[in-house]
A and B are shown apart, each in its own frame.
Chain A
Amino acid sequence: MFADRINRALRRLPAWPVYLLALAHVIWLIWLGATGGLGIEPIEALEHALGLTGLKLMIAALAVTPLRRFAGINLLRFRRALGLTTFFYVTVHLLVWLVLDIGDPAAIWADIVKRPYITVGMAGFVLLVPLAITSNDWSVRRLGPGWRRLQRLSYPAALLGASHYVMLSKGFQLQPMAYLAAVLALLALRLPWKRWRREIPTA
């Protein structure tokens, strides 16, 4: 079967290059920004590139479970790497905004409190923190079934991240809506549809 062939091929691939690629990519982006390779407004370009890649990785991480359940493709071994690199991109995205964009601590707090799109983005980041901290074998063993419950924080985090993108866009733009739709679809696949249908009285 097709899925089996993919799974067999994937089994030979290690997960560690994902971390290496992410690190190299972020360093490359910053270097491009500092040397004019990101155009004439490098701060904005860097913020957008980091934020968007973070959102893409988040969506990839959320796709792992539905892909396995509905297509039989098993990417479970890569999920931790996808999640942790999501956190890495989002953290650098936040740092670029804090240090290079705003730069003024008073203005930063005012923005977080007063600007809904920043509040939403910030909330998404805060939800990712416990996920990143517990993304190791020791925490999985230590927390037991609580670990799985805790990792469900990724659902609201993804929703907040995609909303942050929609909210900061001017006018009615297709791309941010498409990302939000992807997140909503991946979350919808997790709803207990079957059980719900069974509970509907058939009489």
Chain B
Amino acid sequence: MAHRWTNNLTRADVTPYGAYLNRRELMAGLAGLGLGLAGITASPARAETLEPNSWDDITSYNNFYEFGTRKDDPKANAGGMTTTPWSIRLDGMVDRPGTYDLAQILPQMMIEDRIYRLRCVEAWSMVVPWQGFELADLLDLAGVQDGARYVAFETLLRRDEMPGTRYPVLDWPYVEGLRLDEARHPLTIMATGIYGKPLPNQNGAPLRLVVPWKYGFKSIKSVVRITLTDSEPPTSWNKAAPGEYGFYSNVNPNVDHPRWSQKAERRIGGGLFAKKVPTLMFNGYEQDVAGLYDGMDLARHF
């Protein structure tokens, strides 16, 4: 648990789930009475720009190709995924390889609130109030061996529960990877919930990776296997289109996707007339993570 990351946004910056649903009514009512509501009207300026998206936005607009390629497919089709019991295989260069039961892992982890930006490679973005624990803590549970340099992840592949996997859209199962220092970075978490509720299946239940300074597809969902290796693991989108999706996939407004610009993004939930907003270097986490890439040419290692 070295250099634990401190969240400068607190629970008070999250619009409570209940208030969120009633927010319009509340605002209208309270404005009429001349009252303010702490946490909504008194948020600091920075938190205002990071106002989390609604539960509906976060859980209805998803990329989870195992359940279909349309944004509304995951919500419609992911209900059939069995998420309990759930176990994760921790193997490769670890001291204690094995199949770990999630129910036994969770009590040993420190679950925190993390309000993160989420930037999809498709040039849209959201703000998500996650709950989760640092991946570093899970890796320590298995004991990372000295020579390990990368972490490989694998998503569940259960064809009868995942209709999208009947088509060769990608080479199933979905795999992803991080360099060990990226994986151990305090910003990198394994998420278990949103808005204090368990992760919905379409968001990667029961356990998913969240790497907030990388494009969303790096944050692999419904993880069943984590392997420590000494060489760069293959990643699904890199295998599908290496010219478009590199291993690092750091959010970078200066490096365009070959088919579209990455300079700006559209915030989900803005409606039909919302303007795009500029994309931030490392998705706004430059201060925290730029050091990981010192000396690297980010246009080549994209």
Q: Is the interface of B mostly helix, strand, loop or mixed?
A: loop
In the complex, the answer to whether A100 meets B273 with C-beta atoms within 8 Å is yes
Chain A proximity of B302: nearest CB distance (Å): 16
Residues of A with C-beta under 8 A to B258: 115-116
Binds A, one of B4-12, B15-23, B88-96, B166-174: B166-174
In the complex, the answer to whether B60 meets A110 with C-beta atoms within 8 Å is no
**Cα distance, A167 to B260, chains bound together (Å):** 12
Q: Considering only CB atoms, which chain B residue lies closest to A117 in the complex?
A: B259
- Known contacts: A33-B272, A41-B124, A100-B272. The answer to whether A171 contacts B71 by CB under 8 A is no
Residues of B with C-beta under 8 A to A138: none
Count of B residues near A, CB < 8 Å? 31
Binds A, one of B108-116, B139-147, B247-255, B263-271: B263-271
**Cα distance, A43 to B259, chains bound together (Å):** 18
- Interface size classification for chain A: 20 to 34
- Interface positions of A from 29 to 48, Cβ below 8 Å from B: 30, 33-34, 36, 39-44, 46
Residues of B with C-beta under 8 A to A195: none
Tell me if B275 is interfacial: C-beta within 8 Å of chain A: yes
- Known contacts: A39-B72, A111-B261. The answer to whether A171 contacts B61 by CB under 8 A is no
In the complex, the answer to whether A171 meets B240 with C-beta atoms within 8 Å is yes
In the complex, the answer to whether B272 meets A43 with C-beta atoms within 8 Å is yes
Chain B proximity of A105: nearest CB distance (Å): 13
Cross-chain contact of A171 among B56, B72, B169, B276 (Cβ < 8 A): B169
Cross-chain contact of B61 among A30, A39, A172 (Cβ < 8 A): A39
Q: Considering only CB atoms, which chain A residue lies closest to B56 in the complex?
A: A40
Q: C-beta contact mask, B48-89 vs A, less than 8 Å → 1, else 0?
A: 000000001100110001000101100000000000000000
In the complex, the answer to whether B256 meets A41 with C-beta atoms within 8 Å is no
Q: Considering only CB atoms, which chain A residue lies closest to B58 in the complex?
A: A40
Chain B interface residues toward A at CB < 8 A:
56-57, 60-61, 65, 69, 71-72, 122, 124, 167-170, 240, 256, 258-261, 263-264, 266, 268-269, 271-276
The 10 A-B residue pairs with the shortest CB-CB distance, nearest first, are A171-B169, A42-B272, A33-B272, A34-B272, A40-B57, A40-B61, A115-B259, A172-B169, A171-B170, A173-B69
Chain A interface residues toward B at CB < 8 A:
30, 33-34, 36, 39-44, 46, 100-104, 107, 110-111, 114-117, 167-174
Known pairs A39-B60, A114-B256, A170-B122; list 15 more (Cβ under 8 Å): A33-B272, A39-B71, A41-B124, A41-B266, A46-B272, A101-B266, A102-B276, A114-B261, A115-B260, A169-B69, A171-B65, A171-B69, A171-B170, A172-B167, A172-B170
